[in-house]
């Protein structure tokens, strides 16, 4: 589990699927076992508050993003207004969202070229490629993956890259667009066609 302070009233927690398995969860449990999920969130909140020296009180807005290949990204924001209840009481408003995107980070563009070759072989031609802070990112969304086995795609991508917790919104805002669409098709045309 990785915990990071964002501001005085916000922090993020990132758990890989291995972290969740160690805590006794599967992806399906997160959607169907409310009591266990509540216990997981309570444990995570107290671990984060202890590690970051973050005083938990009042209302916490908890946004949970399940990322297909990466794990769970949790954004916790503390609201201070309307503190008219007992100080020891914490109210959590949790929203769950499942990401429809796969985002992988690459240290070298050569690895993206190799991945494109394998993705092309299984019928994928779409995707986007960005460059940000010395790292390349490939993003595939549901339209790029139409009826393809996502586990196969994740396996191919994992050979040459690492799952990223960067969001597509952050890439759009801060990243340099290399391929806005049809990344695999364009890479194949540029690097594999004679």
Write down the pLDDT at residue 87. 45
Token pair listed for 190: 């540029």
Angstrom distance (rounded) from CA 47 to CA 120: 43
Write down the pLDDT at residue 84. 47
pLDDT tens digit sequence for 67-99: 766 777 788 887 755 544 444 444 556 555 566
DSSP 36-86: HHHHHHHHHHHHHHHHHT----EEEEEEEEEETTTEEEEEEEEE-S---S-
In this prediction, residues 167-177 reach a mean pLDDT of 89
pLDDT tens digit sequence for 102-134: 889 999 999 999 999 999 999 999 999 999 999
**Residues 6 or more apart whose Cβ sits within 8 Å of residue 98:** 65, 66, 68
Query: Which segment, 10-19, 125-134, 154-163, is predicted with the most confidence on average?
Result: 125-134
Cβ-based neighbour number of residue 158 at 10 Å:
13
DSSP 164-181: ----HHHHHHHSEEEESS
117 vs 42: which has the higher pLDDT: 117
Write down the pLDDT at residue 106. 94
Give the helix/strand (H/E) hosting 13.
Answer: strand 10-16
Write down the pLDDT at residue 25. 75
For 70, 103, 104, 144, the CA distances from 165, given in Å and listed in that order, are: 7, 8, 8, 19
């Amino acid at each position: 589990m990785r915990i990071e302070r964002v501001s005085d009233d916000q922090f993020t927690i990132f758990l890989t699927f291995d972290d969740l398995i160690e805590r006794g969860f599967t992806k399906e449990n997160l959607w169907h076992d409310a009591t266990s999920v509540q216990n997981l969130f309570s444990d995570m909140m107290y671990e984060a508050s202890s590690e970051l020296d973050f005083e938990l009180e009042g209302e916490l807005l908890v946004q949970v993003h399940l990322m297909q290949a990466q794990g769970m990204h949790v954004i916790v924001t503390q609201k201070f207004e309307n503190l008219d209840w007992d100080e020891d009481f914490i109210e959590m408003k949790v929203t769950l969202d499942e990401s429809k995107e796969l985002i992988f980070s690459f240290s070298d563009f050569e690895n993206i070229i190799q991945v494109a070759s394998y993705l092309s072989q299984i019928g994928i031609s779409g995707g986007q490629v960005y460059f940000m802070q010395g790292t390349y990112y490939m993003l595939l969304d549901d339209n790029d993956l139409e009826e393809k086995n996502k586990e196969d795609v994740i396996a191919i991508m994992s050979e040459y890259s690492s799952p990223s917790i960067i969001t597509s919104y952050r890439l759009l805002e801060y990243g340099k667009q290399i391929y806005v669409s049809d990344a695999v098709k364009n890479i194949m045309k540029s690097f594999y066609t004679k």
